[in-house]
Structure 1
């Protein structure tokens, strides 16, 4: 019998999460809003502008004390 050590993603609770997604059609970069340090971030992959949106993602808390947006 096989027992996987990986936790299935279906076990994790999900919720609609605010994200920033890249506006460049050739780039699929995105990041969670609560992990952004700028009020208007740029894509880390292609340096294009990003726009706000929502995505269904597993719940994840940012406990960083440095979380302030400039």
Structure 2
């Protein structure tokens, strides 16, 4: 049997999403706001502070019951 690894090209719906971006110029880390558990998150890659911004991303719902920010 032949199994192809080619993925189907499906257009996923996108929306402007609030994200946190790393403030370190050498780091390109970012995370979605609805996946952050702290009021002021710290970059997981370089431990620098992060700032809010927006990015066009595919729609993704966070269904975690632990959604409160400390």
Q: TM-score, normalised by structure 2?
A: 0.89
Where 2:61 maps in the other structure, the secondary structure is: coil
State the secondary structure of the residue aligned to 1:55: strand
Q: CA RMSD in A?
A: 1.4
- The alpha-carbon distance between structure 1 residues 49 and 7, as it changes in their structure 2 partners (threshold 3 A), is farther
Structure 1: 4+ residue segments shifted above 3 A: none
Going by fraction, where is helix more abundant, 1 or 2? 1
User: What SS does structure 1 have at the residue aligned with 2:7?
Assistant: coil
TM value normalised by structure 1:
0.89
Q: CA deviation at 1:11?
A: 1.0
In 2: Cα distance, 1:25 partner to 1:19 partner: 17
Instruction: Structure 1 unaligned segments of length 5 or more: list them.
Output: none
1:6 Cα offset (Å)? 2.0
Deviations 1:33-70 (CA, angstroms, capped at 9, x unpaired): 00000000000000000000000000000000011100
Partner of 2:42: 42
